[in-house]
């Protein structure tokens, strides 16, 4: 594909490493543009399709603060709001586990990072660790 060099407007192949006239890094620039377009398309095509086990608490609904395996004080998992499961969202790129509190923002196209939004991969997760999700409860604010 021939494109205009953003620097000097010379017509040049989008695969050229550099513009023959001015040296602008064409291929890298167009690769970055394609990445951005794919990311934009991905952001606007998110859809909640179900629920997935909460990784933050291993679907238990609570997390312990004790070091290693020692039991310590435990508190509700804020990601799944005590239920052990969180929304599963599909986009063209794959599947995402999304904290309840971040669901609207994520579906609305915002970038949300871990632990609230975790990319699962190209394949939907299968099954649940427990038969039923627990009741949701809003966790208390961090003390
Ligand atoms: Zn150029
Ligand atoms: Zn959880």
Beta bridge partners, 62, equal 76
Domain residue ranges of the chain, discontinuous segments joined by +: 2-43, 47-121
Q: What's the mean pLDDT in 80-101?
A: 96
With beta carbons less than 8 A apart as the criterion, state whether 106 and 117 touch: yes
Distance 35 CA to ligand 1 centre (A): 21
- Cα–Cα dist 96/86, whole Å: 10
Q: Which ligand is nearest to the CA of 7?
A: 1
Distance 20 CA to ligand 1 centre (A): 7
Q: Which 3 state secondary structure label does DSSP give 101?
A: helix
Find the radius of gyration of the CA atoms of the chain.
Answer: 22
Q: Which ligand is nearest to the CA of 74?
A: 2
pLDDT (tens digit, 9 = 90+) per residue, 103-138? Answer: 999 999 999 999 999 999 999 999 999 999 999 987
- Cα–Cα dist 52/36, whole Å: 28
């Amino acid at each position: 594909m021939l494109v205009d060099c953003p620097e000097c407007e010379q017509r040049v192949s989008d695969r050229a490493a550099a513009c023959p006239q001015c040296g602008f890094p064409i291929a890298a620039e167009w690769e970055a543009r394609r990445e951005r377009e794919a990311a934009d398309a991905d952001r606007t095509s998110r859809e909640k399709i179900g629920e997935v086990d909460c990784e933050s608490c291993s679907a238990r609904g609570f997390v312990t603060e004790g070091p290693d395996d020692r039991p310590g004080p435990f508190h509700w998992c804020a990601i799944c709001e005590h239920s052990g499961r969180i929304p599963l969202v599909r986009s063209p790129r794959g599947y995402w586990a999304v904290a309840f509190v971040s669901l609207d923002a994520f579906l609305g196209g915002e970038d949300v990072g871990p632990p609230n939004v975790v990319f699962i991969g190209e394949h939907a997760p299968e099954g649940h660790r427990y038969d039923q999700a627990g009741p949701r409860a809003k966790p208390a604010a961090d003390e």
